């Protein structure tokens, strides 16, 4: 009678099956000899901080080293950090970029996210100028002639995009944790700028910092009511 797989073996089997599913977008492109990059952003929703983006070019010969990598939203912070280290080590090229709070307020969050993606792409092109195809999470990156696939929920469908989602999220979390040392009263290291009850109370009590997005509600309303501060 075959031995029943243990918990660790079962987990690894699930991860391998998930890994294979995440390569379904890349494999046909690689079969054509194309060099493929994945792009994603992090931080569209918070009330404070930049929006970050990452661009990742997987190495087809090293993808097995990335088993377990998945959509950053499904992973806890410690796991994302571990995967980020493996991604940086086992991919052909990667880059992270951001759009600032000022840019978000000036051109809107969607355009700022695209700007961050374009900056990350440009940095990768300095390393791998022969990119043939982009896999992008639910949008088209402007300012490039490289063919693109805009994949709805791409971070859950493509390993390239999932890897980019992790690098972008880890970078942004580090930015917000560093910001907490400058503005310790706001709890940025915990909520990362999202509109939690703790964060909203801190804004009402201590005011708006240079890190806050002034075009976002309720920040814009609070700015018009200085008596609240």
Tell me, yes or no, whether 115 lies in a domain: yes
Tell me, yes or no, whether 2 lies in a domain: no
Tell me, yes or no, whether 162 lies in a domain: yes
Tell me, yes or no, whether 49 lies in a domain: yes
> What are the φ/ψ torsions at residue 134 (nearest 5 degrees)?
-115, 135
Tell me, yes or no, whether 17 lies in a domain: yes
Q: Model-level pTM?
A: 0.94
To which H or E segment does residue 91 belong? strand 91-99
Query: Which residue segment(s) compose the domain that 62 sits in?
Result: 10-180
Encode pLDDT of 35-56 as tens digits: 999 999 999 999 999 999 999 9
Encode pLDDT of 101-137 as tens digits: 999 999 999 999 999 999 999 999 999 999 999 999 9
Closest listed residue to residue 175, CA positions, set 99, 228, 75, 92: 99
Tell me, yes or no, whether 18 lies in a domain: yes
* CATH code of the domain in which 160 resides: 3.30.420.10
Specify the number of domains making up the chain.
1
* Three-state DSSP state, 56: strand
């Amino acid at each position: 009678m075959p031995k029943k797989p243990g918990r660790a073996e079962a987990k690894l089997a699930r991860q391998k099956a998930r890994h294979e599913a995440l390569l379904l977008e890349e494999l046909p492109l690689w079969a054509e000899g194309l060099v493929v990059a994945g792009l994603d952003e992090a931080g569209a929703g918070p009330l404070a901080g930049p929006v970050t983006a990452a661009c990742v070019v997987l190495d087809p010969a090293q993808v097995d080293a990335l088993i377990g990598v998945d959509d950053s939203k499904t992973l806890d912070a410690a796991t994302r950090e571990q995967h980020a280290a493996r991604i940086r080590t086992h991919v052909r090229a990667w880059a992270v970029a951001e759009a600032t709070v000022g840019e978000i307020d000036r051109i809107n969050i969607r355009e700022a996210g695209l700007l961050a993606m374009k900056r990350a792409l440009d940095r990768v092109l300095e390393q791998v100028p022969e990119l043939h195809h982009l896999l992008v999470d639910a949008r088209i990156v402007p300012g490039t002639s490289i063919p693109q696939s805009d994949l709805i929920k791409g971070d859950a469908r493509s390993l390239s995009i999932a890897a980019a989602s992790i690098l972008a999220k880890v970078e942004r979390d580090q930015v917000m944790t560093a910001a907490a040392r400058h503005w310790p009263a706001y709890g940025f290291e915990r909520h990362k700028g999202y509109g939690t009850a703790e964060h909203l109370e801190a804004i009402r009590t201590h005011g708006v910092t240079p890190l806050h997005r002034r075009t976002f509600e309720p920040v814009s309303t609070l700015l018009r009511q200085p008596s609240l501060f």
